[in-house]
Amino acid sequence: MRYQELNLDGLVSPCHNYAGLSPGNLASEDHRGQDASPKQAALQGLEKMWRLHQLGIPQAVMPPQLRPRLEMLRTLGFSGSNTQLIDAAARQAPELLAACYSASSMWAANSATVTCSADSNDHKLHFTPANLLFNLHRSLEAQESNRILKRIFGNSEFFVHHPPLPASIEFGDEGAANHTRLCADHYQPGLTLLTYGYQQQPDSLKPSLFPARHSLQATEAIIRAHQLGPHNSLSMQQLPASIDRGVFHNDVIAVGHRNLLLLHEEAWLNQAHSLDQIQRCWERLTPDNTPLYIEQVSRRDLNVEDTVKSYLFNSQLLTLSSGEMLLLAPLECQEQDAARAVIEKLLVSYNPLTQVEFMDLRQSMNNGGGPACLRLRVPLSDTELAAMHQGVLLTPALYQALQRWINHHYRDQLGPEDLRDPALIDEIHNALGVLEQILDLPGLYNFV
């Protein structure tokens, strides 16, 4: 049976803004308080989706979550009409108003961890939404991600949906931003790589400046729930020093696809040992002797600071119909000399990567999310693809409908003061009400 890797991209919300809510995400902090362009952000993300469709790669749309989350403000002691609620929060706790307006669900890589049915013991596709508990604005996403994924992948014959892990520091879970699946081909058994930032032991190594967000206990829980085992899953710890330099997720410093793994030499603690484990597991899982290509970029060629600025490893690796691989990289990689030189070196090295394309995703990049942050990878058989909700699969008609929708409903600019505008609530709700119809997902949003 044929399998394909579906890219499920987060559609940028009409409330896209730069609030700088994420400690350790240097781009987010650097652009705090600046004006954002929701319209430009959404169109840039849509163009990336369309490019994958043009390349013949299955592409789907993850709808934005309902914002603002005014019930959070009421829970935290604010009261009155919506207008009074927003005004009081803006005066007394603007960071809470920004959190309830956050558009961070656009980064679908954080929405869940996904296990391919070719890997799980029950041969079903498993989803666990990330609890994202280390940031208030992101922790609001977990239950809604669960509900949206159930609407899109609703057939219980093929899809298993687990609840988010407990919202406890023992189980901090940041989703697929810390997950990579390596395989000879998507239909063949794969190797699940899960990266964590900390473990709950007194003597364990941790970063000193920024928080490590993903726990070893969370990766172990995912392995159990998704019916994986030691033969096809490995857990590695992020290098604490790299977290302190802005590597808040593993997908900022490593990316893998099929039989190619690209990573910086400062991605993992005890990296040489981890790479040896990966190679040995790979050889056991692939009896046909398909080679695994591991390209490790040295700090001499690209230091961690430039890695974070360029988001080279937050590029997407894509397999073309020819069997060759393409690197879909952010425009910042073309503009930065060191990152561009690394890419040029990779293209002439002995590996499947033969092409690169650069995409303008500046609006997302300014908030700390590149091409890979915007998408959740879902490996699907043809049968599973047919069993999911078809209304979110990108087609020329849907692409054009979403273009018109964005141009009609989105503001050109949105700054911190605009979050106090009560008209923004109605604008967002009206836009999402239309989107329900476009994606054929009636009742997706609870407009209360």
Burial class (CB in 10 A: 0-12, 13-18, 19+), 419: buried
Report the distance separating Cα 98 and Cα 68, nearest Å. Answer: 9
The contacts of residue 248 (CB under 8 Å, 6+ apart) are 22, 24, 25, 210, 213, 368
Q: In what order do the strands lie in the sheet with 125-129?
A: 112-115, 125-129, 159-161
Nearest Cα to Cα of residue 131 among 217, 64, 41: 217
Residue 68 in tokens: 């603002």
- How many CB atoms are closer than 10 A to CB 23? 15
Question: Which residue is catalytic, options 116, 183, 373, 384?
Answer: 373
Q: Are 339 and 310 in contact (CB under 8 A)?
A: yes
Question: Is there a catalytic annotation at residue 332?
Answer: no
Question: Which residue is catalytic, options 16, 186, 249, 257?
Answer: 249
Question: Which residue is catalytic, options 141, 144, 174, 332?
Answer: 174
Question: Is there a catalytic annotation at residue 427?
Answer: no
Q: In what order do the strands lie in the sheet with 233-237?
A: 179-182, 191-196, 233-237
**DSSP code at position 83:** H
Strand partners, 114: 127
| Locus of tokens 């794969």 | 190
| Locus of tokens 């298993």 | 160
Question: Is there a catalytic annotation at residue 137?
Answer: no
Active site residues: 174, 249, 373
